[in-house]
Amino acid sequence: MTRIAEGVFWVGAIDWTLRDFHGYVTPHGTTYNAYLVLDEKKALIDTVRSSHFTELVARVKEVLDPGEIDYLVSSHVEPDHSGSLAQVLALCPKAQVVTVERHGEQGLQKYFHQKLPLMTVKEGSTLSLGKRSLSFIPIPLVHWPDNMMVFLSPDAVLFSTDCYGQHVATSTRFDDQSDMGLLMAEAAKYYANIIFPYPTQAARALEKTLALQPKVICPSHGVMWRGHLPQILEAYGRWTRGETRPRALVVYDTMWHSTEAMALAMVEGIAQEGVEVVLHNLGSSDLSHIVADLLEARALAVGSPILNNNLLPPVAAFLTYLKGLRPRGKIGAAFGSFGWGGATAVKAIKEDLALAGLEVMEDELAVRFSPTPEELQACRQLGQKLAQKIKG
């Protein structure tokens, strides 16, 4: 248990060994944050993943008997936060489950297949706990349809659900006790993988956060923000506005190193123009790490060979992931190699990049079998042209 303010506690769970969160690679593990607010009435904000139920209960019991809890607030239905809700309810016979009217009520019933003691709230609803109160701020689609922030007055503590989260497992609970380099990198990765498709909704959530002027922000994952609030809020400002810097990503996979040679020549051409460039081979870099690098990049070049008349599967998987994230406002370029089936990879990449919302360059580079020195020079030139577009 960690004290946040008088009568406000972190009682969540630490998942030190988690390395794969439904495909999102988590080298630093994660936490499932739950918070307890004590007043005349007692509220537990969120539960934890069902695997960590006993850890949650042990922390709650450091503060009070779970049977005293009056309200169990669900910040969204996602199972890593509501997964042990039914087990917790069994320990809190008088508790009502507070959820957002739109999508929350329906979502919880559908997940738990049982009648729950639900109390629905909406924008502007408040719940008095005695001397303090909770107000509810739905932020649909950041990241589930029922996401809801909760603000505790007069303490000015914001329980921010997915906003400002980071997948890190640490022995520290606050930003000012932690490695800020790691936190900001993981906050960026979280935004890129979880919130990227919803910049408008996230901008609205940021606006509401700024208006509330919280003293502490308590997200669903990772550490709480109190010492570096301007830093994380400014970062969310940049990310929701889609601000980029002169940086390109070259992402490829290869069978017999032809596409790889093209990718390396593209990198050379981009760097020759003085633009920062990052290279990822899909055989060794995971998707969640690549899109974190893409967040503030201005351009993305994707390369693939052909396998059985199709893109190499890791490239197709990357493009599928990208189409879901829709990173608008970036420049796209395509290149690749082929043997006897024609230059169909480049066409397919261009189509998918356009569907993902990128502004795709007309130029394309497709090489049969292995690139000649002249063809590699053409790759360098395409890299230079991409860099010039970035600078322009």
Which range of residues in 73-81, 119-127, 132-140, 332-340 is near ligand FEO by CB under 6 A? 73-81
Q: Which of 15, 46, 55, 80 binds ligand FEO (CB under 6 A)?
A: 80
Task: Centre a 10 Å sphere on the Cβ of residue 203 and count the other Cβ atoms it contains.
Answer: 17
What is the three-class DSSP state of 266? helix
Q: Which of 55, 78, 101, 253 binds ligand FEO (CB under 6 A)?
A: 78
Structure tokens at 216: 């502490």
Contact of 127 with 98, CB cutoff 8 Å: yes
Q: Does 46 help bind ligand FEO (rule: CB under 6 A)? A: no
Q: Does 143 help bind ligand FEO (rule: CB under 6 A)? A: yes
Nearest distance in Å: CB 162, ligand FEO: 4
How far, in Å, CA of 324 to CA of 313, rounded?
17
Residues 80, 253, 293, 352: which is the catalytic one? Answer: 80
Closer by beta carbon to ligand FEO, 97 or else 331: 97
Helix, strand, coil percentages (3-state) for the chain, rounded to 5, are: 40, 30, 35
Give me the sign of the Cα torsion angle 12, 13, 14, 19: negative
Closer by beta carbon to ligand FEO, 76 or else 380: 76
Residue 228 catalytic? Answer: no
What is the three-class DSSP state of 210? helix
For Cα atoms 360, 366, 369, give the angle at the middle one, nearest 5 degrees: 155
Q: Does 350 help bind ligand FEO (rule: CB under 6 A)? A: no
| Number of residues binding to ligand FEO, judged by CB under 6 A | 9
Nearest CA to 153 out of 3, 45, 33, 5 is that of: 5
How far, in Å, CA of 392 to CA of 217, rounded?
38
Which range of residues in 63-71, 77-85, 149-157, 256-264 is near ligand FEO by CB under 6 A? 77-85
**What string marks each residue from 164 to 193 as x (binds ligand FEO by CB under 6 A) or -?**
------------------------------
Residues numbered 219-278 forming contacts with ligand FEO, rule: CB under 6 A: 220-221
**What string marks each residue from 299 to 328 as x (binds ligand FEO by CB under 6 A) or -?**
------------------------------
Closer by beta carbon to ligand FEO, 48 or else 290: 48
Half-sphere exposure of residue 96: CA atoms within 13 angstroms, side-chain side = 10
Task: For residue 314, give every residue at least 6 positions away whose Cβ sits within 8 Å of its Cβ, in sequence order, or none.
Answer: 253, 282, 283
Residue 76 catalytic? Answer: yes
State the residue for tokens 């970062």: 235
Task: Centre a 10 Å sphere on the Cβ of residue 277 and count the other Cβ atoms it contains.
Answer: 24
Nearest distance in Å: CB 203, ligand FEO: 18
Applying CB under 6 A, the residues found at the interface with ligand FEO are: 76, 78, 80-81, 143-144, 162, 220-221
Catalytic residues: 22, 76, 78, 80, 143, 162, 190, 221
